[in-house]
Structure 1
Amino acid sequence: MPTTSPVQRLFDTCREVFAAGGAGIVPLPEDVERVKAALDGMQLDDVGLRPDTPYFHIMAAERSPIVARLRLHECDQFSIVIFCLPASSVIPLHNHPGMTVFSKLLYGTMHIKSYDWMADGASGTAVLSNPQIHPSGARLAKVKVNSEFTAPCETSILYPANGGNMHCFTAVTACAVLDVLGPPYSDSEGRHCTYYRDFPFTSFSVDGASSSSSSSSSSVPEEEREGYAWLQEKPEDFTVVRVPYEGPRIRTDN
């Protein structure tokens, strides 16, 4: 009997876990663990890639690195994609509205910075009593992750309202990340990918005064300020090259 490939096992698991899913619906904890377990052991060669794959070295005319996107599967319930990032390339800070997302670093070293929105009425530290949305349109967020990761490492998981729903990937070396999104982006259903600029907490006033003299800002302990930032929407300026997936075939008819 032929051995089931890791990619096929991942697809089969996702099809079961996300069968009744939808925007904002988080799988049961045991189902989250099932998807995570399917991803945790996966390696670069399981998806038909090698360190010398040209996708890790795509350059534009001006010699800037370009990210490659390989789509393994996409349906209304979930999508499975791989991003190949040349060294120093960046997937800008962006959101995942209503989605549960699993990210497995397959190769290389990547810096990940992620944020969650501060909820209105949150409490527990001085900054949280301040307004959550600035007149400029920037919105207050809390840093969830700001670290480097090197493969092999555990799968990271983000949720619709926590876990680092907005994140940015920066390739320290050439790297590859396998993402499972449930459900996927859908403009027709209002799940748009929005990009952001992030600004230090002290960049904006939180009480109408300048950031340097804001009494509310100065009331936040210095050691806490790095844990918060203002995120402001920006136009999409991300270049990605869509390339064919040539790894093990996924059977969708069984």
Structure 2
Amino acid sequence: MGIETTRADRKVNKELREFPKATNTTSKSKPRKSRRRQKKTSPVQKLFQTCKEVFANGGTGTVPSHEDIERLRAVLDKMKPEDVGLSPDMLCLRPQGARRTPEITYFQLYESEKFSMGIFCLPPSGVIPLHNHPGMTVFSKLLFGTMHINSYDWVVDGPSYTSADLNPSEITVDPAARLAKVKVDSDFTAPCNTSILYPADGGNMHCFTAVTACAVLDVLGPPYSEPDDRHCTYYLEFPFTSFSVDGVSVPEEEREGYAWLQEREIKPEDVSVVRARYRGPEIVDK
């Protein structure tokens, strides 16, 4: 997932235990051994360390190696709500009554120039509108609940469409629309595998809708950054049959697998995301 956010400031014990020398004279004396007892690394600290290694040489459009992607995926697949101090009965996850658009809560775990880690908590019917992730590789792990994911990739060398026939009330920018192919259009219920999207495929543009109260842990590499031209763009969706373009032909039975996407100039007014302080297990940058 990922909604553009501002950058936050960044922030074993070892105990030696000496075992006594063996005193049994009937057996061969054993050399004195020294063993170290090290505090067990928390799951979220392990996630942080893995991200730090995987994205160490990253940048806009840089995709980690297959081995690194699988290594990070394996760590995320094991993450549980309690590993980041969350539970489904949190106040921010309760139904919000007659409120037009449920408020979404964002907990930022960490952010640097290389990557960011954060959690989005969505109450029932909460929506993060269709948006993109320019030049970024994104890992999303659903921690609990059921979420509908709708994602798209641009059709390579696909046509664009401009027309005065678009509904004026929905036009927020130049009415150009580009053809996109549906990547995912399904419900996901935790526990489930981590989803991954890439700069040019895998569903780089996606929309999340909470079927039930849910939480998703997001890792972005690199994160959004206006100076680096990685800003979040939102889109309107139009069915493939909305327009007729010369040279564009899709069999009728496949048309639901395509859509026209049009950029929105600003963040949708009905999106409400509030930032909250992360109070889960400590993350140590070392």
Please tell me whether the aligned partners of residues 57 and 65 of structure 1 are also in contact (alpha carbons under 8 angstroms): no
Distance 1:230 1:199 in 2: 5
Write out per-residue CA displacement over residues 173-215 of structure 1, whole angstroms, 9 at most, x where no aligned residue. 00000000000000111001000011110112213xxxxxxxx
Distance 1:223 1:6 in 2: 45
Please tell me whether the aligned partners of residues 95 and 124 of structure 2 are also in contact (alpha carbons under 8 angstroms): no
Deviation at 1:63, TM superposition (A): 5.7
Please tell me whether the aligned partners of residues 95 and 193 of structure 1 are also in contact (alpha carbons under 8 angstroms): yes
Same amino acid, percent of matched pairs = 66
1:15 equivalent to 2:52? Answer yes
In structure 1, list runs of 5 or more residues that go unmatched: 121-130, 208-215
Moved over 6 A (4+): none
Q: How does 1:213-228 map to 2 (within 5 A)?
A: 219-228=249-258
* Alignment partner, residue 231 of structure 1: 261
Amino acid at match of 1:228: Y
Deviation at 1:57, TM superposition (A): 2.5
Amino acid at match of 1:221: P
Distance 2:231 2:277 in 1: 23
- Higher Rg of the two aligned structures: 2
For the aligned residue pairs, the C-alpha RMSD in angstroms reads: 1.4
* Alignment partner, residue 132 of structure 1: 159
Distance 1:134 1:119 in 2: 15
Distance 1:133 1:4 in 2: 50
Query: Tell me, what secondary structure is at the counterpart of 2:149?
Result: strand
More helix by share: 1
1:188 equivalent to 2:227? Answer yes
Distance 1:185 1:232 in 2: 20
Q: How does 1:35-184 map to 2 (within 5 A)?
A: 35-57=72-94, 59=96, 62=99, 64-120=101-157, 132-135=159-162, 136-184=175-223
Query: Tell me, what secondary structure is at the counterpart of 1:15?
Result: helix
Distance 2:86 2:65 in 1: 32
* Alignment partner, residue 123 of structure 1: none
Give the aligned length.
234
Distance 1:153 1:246 in 2: 24
